[in-house]
Amino acid sequence: MSKFLVLYRSPMSPAEMFSSIPAEQQQAFAKAWLAWDASAGPALTDPGNPTQVVSDPKAGGDHVAGYALIEAEDADAVNKLLTGHPHLANGGTVGIYEVLDMAAPA
């Protein structure tokens, strides 16, 4: 099994997004997110949290809105697991990065 870092990207920061939508929509989004977390099962080793930029001098484009850690056989399995994710359903994108085990023998 490999570990993968999933970076959730969005045109707006989480703070901007949540301040621009009604409370009912925020609750529905949170409920959908928690349902996806539960459906991911043990592969979701860290469901992560939203993020707010503090400093990113080379950033361009979308905000990194949050992250998660997933254990899976390969990137295809991660992509399959992300099918139907509420972040993607709301127009966000994801970056998938394999976490390299630098302590493992070559």
| pLDDT tens by residue, the chain, 106 residues | 999 999 999 988 888 888 888 999 889 989 999 999 999 999 999 999 999 888 887 777 788 999 999 999 999 999 999 999 999 998 899 999 999 988 866 6
Rounded to two decimals, what is the model's pTM?
A: 0.87
The CA-based angle 33-18-24, given to 5 degrees, is: 70
Q: What does the radius of gyration of the chain's CA atoms come to, in whole angstroms? A: 15
The structure tokens 């070559």 sit at: 106
- Type and span of the H or E element at 24: helix 23-40
CATH 3.30.70.1060 fits 2-99, yes or no: yes
- Give the pair of three-digit tokens for residue 102: 């630098």
- Other CB atoms within a 10 A radius of the CB of residue 4 amount to 22
